[in-house]
Copies of this chain bind each other. A is one copy, B any other.
């Protein structure tokens, strides 16, 4: 038996990526076998190679598309630096909350990338950090922020925000909106003069 009724490339391709995303996030890249991805899709392992040249590309493509989408959606914001920073905080928390698997992978599986692929991903991540750093620098120029080194502050803020997706649960004590409000306040306080 080969080729189950009704199946097409346009359906299976995304399902392969979705299964890989879920399993990589759950167990880690190295612990997930191509066979387990195939099983999740409901296909034999050989069929996966119609959709990816190899396992490494599967990981890389997931990371790259996540970061490219992140960059495409992250605007530079409007208003003064404080407004723009508040907007960035809300955007980051909400965007990452909606894509916990992709976030997890993008932060945890960097060491499983080949050197060339790592450079690409690192470049994208750096571009995202630059969006925040530009806001912080504008605030310093305005005189409304009082941070000594904008690069450090950028990393501190991003680490703080990204941490949310490691513990926040919809079923928990607080709504995402509560969390967002408190983080906005903490971040704005952290960088003020």
Q: Which residues in A have some Cβ–Cβ distance to B below 8 Å? A: 26-28, 30-31, 108, 111-112, 147-149, 152-153, 155-160, 162-164, 166-167, 174, 178-179, 181-183, 185-187, 189-192
Contacts and interface: CB of A to CB of B under 8 A. Distances in A.
A156 B186 contact: yes
A85 to B, nearest CB: 13
Contacts of A182: 147-149, 152-153
A160 B156 contact: yes
Given A147-B182, A152-B182, A153-B182, 15 more contacts: A27-B30, A28-B112, A31-B112, A147-B186, A148-B181, A149-B182, A152-B179, A156-B186, A157-B160, A158-B163, A186-B191, A187-B190, A189-B189, A189-B192, A190-B190
List of 6 A-B pairs having minimum Cβ-Cβ separation, nearest first: A159-B163, A30-B30, A190-B190, A30-B31, A160-B160, A186-B190
Interface residue SS majority, chain A? helix
Nearest to A152: B182
A108 B105 CA distance: 11
A28 B24 CA distance: 13
A156 B166 CA distance: 11
A160 B166 CA distance: 13
A60 to B, nearest CB: 16
Contacts of A27: 30, 111
A31 B186 CA distance: 38
A128 to B, nearest CB: 14
Contact of A159 (B30, B147, B152, B160): B160
Nearest to A104: B111
A29 to B, nearest CB: 8
A180 to B, nearest CB: 11
Contacts of A156: 160, 163, 183, 186
